[in-house]
Copies of this chain bind each other. A is one copy, B any other.
Amino acid sequence: MAAHQVNQDRLWQSLLDMAKIGPGVAGGNRRLALTEEDRQGRDLFCAWAKAAGCAVTVDGMGNIFARRAGRKPAASPVLTGSHLDTQPTGGRFDGVYGVLAGLEVVRSLNDRKLETARPVEVVVWTNEEGSRFQPAMVGSGVFSGRFTLEEGYGQADADGVRLGDALEKIGYKGAAKAGPRPIHSYLEAHIEQGPILEAERKTIGIVSGIQGVKWFKARVTGMNSHAGTTPMEVRRDPLVGAARMVQAVDRITRATRPDCVGTVGEFKVGPGSINVINAEVRFSIDLRCPDGGVLRELEAKVRAACGEIAQEAGLSLQLDEIWYSEPTEFDAKVVQTIAQAAGQAGYPARRIVSGAGHDAKHLAEICPTGMIFIPCENGISHNEAENITPEQAGAGANVLLNSVLTLANEE
């Protein structure tokens, strides 16, 4: 089969048009879930999808499905998409790219009058970012059966507004049943949100899975005293101990496996005065690895090292796990389909594990799933400076188009 190509200029123009809704202050976007801006973005997508001949349905969680019919109406569809909501100071491409690349696939199929055996549906998932309502990825979570509809509706924002009410207010509490239904396969195109593809000059990332993530909160307590009058040998300085723990996280992660990452992001000292030895330090640890067993091993080594440091320094340490997201391995056949599409188009590509979570994580629980990454400028995301080129956008959509064609023509 010869490789088909999307209309790159049309895709790029759609990305720019969508970015006009809920503009940020620095060239990016602020289109928080279930706000008026989100409604406008959804309306624009629905109008475009209808203009492309799709049947649009909305489920009870506000997930939007734009369906292009197949030759076999009863066959389970190939689903592709992502989300339109953004971070408070978000970029123009995170999520939006996957939705509009999906729409561009439908438009390109129309241009070429290409029929598929299975229906193709482009999906917009509700509240992927989790900026307004926690947890994140709740629309796909309800669709996959991970959360109940009631759990989805019950989330409240900082003002106490419940997700269910916000959904109703913007007119996107749909009639379709929210929950699992037969899906042949799910594909999600997304910007990498990291620096690997750009650094290695790869056009396409063939995503093999999503890292497992464990979050911890640590509290180190020592002895608060006067910086001028307390001799070094009697000190129990929690900052000196916590500093060793920060290094231990970094050192142990590097030594464990090249695909592990470990980060201390939050870090607060108390009382934090120039001439006072602190009483306590609180910090977070974020550990990730594509392999659940290795992640547990990494955790055990970090715990042992931190415990040893605390004991040596006469400090007390409390280290609690606050969140765990198990690793996801994508479907081998779907991954292979994406790899073939990239190869056919002649794009430099590599296998990559997603460091961030995506709706595809939930979909992988109910159907064969894969993701296509494209590079983003300097690996920057969740930031108004987020950027890609029209060529990068087009390449990812080309791979998506050919992958969809393959999957939608499977028996």
Contact between A232 and B253, CB atoms less than 8 A apart: yes
Residues of B within 8 A of A275 (CB): 215, 263, 265, 286
Contact with B along A248-287 (1 / 0, CB 8 A): 0010011000111111111111001111111000001010
Interface check A299, CB cutoff 8 A:
no
The answer to whether residues A195 and B239 also contact, given A272-B266, A272-B267, A381-B226 and a CB cut-off of 8 A, is: no
**Range class of the A interface residue count:** 35 or more
Contact between A229 and B276, CB atoms less than 8 A apart: no
Which residues of chain A in 322-343 are interfacial with respect to chain B, using CB atoms and an 8 Å cutoff?
Answer: none
Contact between B227 and A265, CB atoms less than 8 A apart: yes
In the complex, what's the smallest C-beta–C-beta distance from A123 to chain B, in angstroms? 23
The distance in angstroms between the C-alpha atoms of A380 and B260, with both chains bound, is 44
Partner of A226, one of B242, B262, B356: B356
Residues of B within 8 A of A64 (CB): none
Contact between A239 and B225, CB atoms less than 8 A apart: no
The distance in angstroms between the C-alpha atoms of A389 and B292, with both chains bound, is 59
Contact with B along A282-298 (1 / 0, CB 8 A): 00101010000000000
The distance in angstroms between the C-alpha atoms of A184 and B171, with both chains bound, is 88
Interface check A27, CB cutoff 8 A:
no
Which residues of chain A in 207-246 are interfacial with respect to chain B, using CB atoms and an 8 Å cutoff?
Answer: 211, 213, 215, 225-234, 237, 239-240, 242-244, 246
Contact between B231 and A258, CB atoms less than 8 A apart: yes
Contact with B along A368-396 (1 / 0, CB 8 A): 00000000000111100000000000000
A352 nearest CB neighbor, chain B only = B229
Contact between A229 and B379, CB atoms less than 8 A apart: yes
Interface check A7, CB cutoff 8 A:
no
In the complex, what's the smallest C-beta–C-beta distance from A78 to chain B, in angstroms? 27
In the complex, what's the smallest C-beta–C-beta distance from A40 to chain B, in angstroms? 28
Interface check A355, CB cutoff 8 A:
yes
Residues of B within 8 A of A14 (CB): none
The answer to whether residues A261 and B230 also contact, given A239-B246, A268-B272, A286-B274 and a CB cut-off of 8 A, is: yes
The distance in angstroms between the C-alpha atoms of A254 and B232, with both chains bound, is 7
Residues of B within 8 A of A272 (CB): 265-268
